[in-house]
């Protein structure tokens, strides 16, 4: 029962991430919503498998897959952000630092 609830929350987090990617205006904002399935959902799935599966070797495999997904998310997000920058600006590293965020965006 608890494992099913954890899986339901994992699916909800993945759907919220997909909705965020769909609704955000630019690619940089969309990159933030990719982390929900990679971190929250994968962690909840590891917990669900740990609670439900009697063989802990299976849970270990799921945990390793989740750790690889979590680590690769940072690498792929950074590479994607850099590719977006190069495509829009034409070169890397940037010639000039980006302008500061407006005061209302700083929070």
Q: How far is CA 14 from CA 54, 84, 93, 105, 106, in A?
A: 26, 23, 33, 26, 27
Nearest to 10 by CA among 44, 38, 52: 44
Residue 46 forms part of a structural domain: yes
**Phi, psi dihedrals of residue 46, rounded to the nearest 5°:** -60, -45
Q: Which residues of the chain have pLDDT under 50?
A: none
pLDDT of residue 38: 87
pLDDT of residue 85: 85
Counted residue by residue, the chain has a size of 107
Residue 7 forms part of a structural domain: yes
For 59, the domain range is 2-93
Please state the pTM of the whole predicted model.
0.73
Residue 103 forms part of a structural domain: no
- Considering Cα of 78, then 80, then 81, then 86, what sign does the dihedral take? positive
Residue 101 forms part of a structural domain: no
Q: Which CATH number fits the domain that encloses residue 39?
A: 1.10.287
Question: Could you give the number of structural domains in the chain?
Answer: 1
């Amino acid at each position: 029962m608890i494992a099913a609830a954890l899986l339901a929350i994992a699916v909800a987090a993945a759907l919220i991430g997909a909705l965020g990617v769909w609704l955000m205006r630019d690619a940089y904002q969309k990159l933030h919503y990719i982390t929900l399935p990679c971190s929250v959902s994968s962690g909840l799935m590891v917990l669900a498998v740990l609670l439900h599966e009697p063989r802990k070797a299976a849970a270990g495999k799921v945990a390793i897959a989740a750790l690889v997904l979590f680590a690769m998310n940072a690498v792929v997000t950074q590479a994607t952000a850099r590719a977006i920058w190069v495509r829009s600006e034409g070169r890397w590293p940037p010639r000039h630092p980006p302008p500061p965020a407006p005061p209302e965006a700083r929070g």
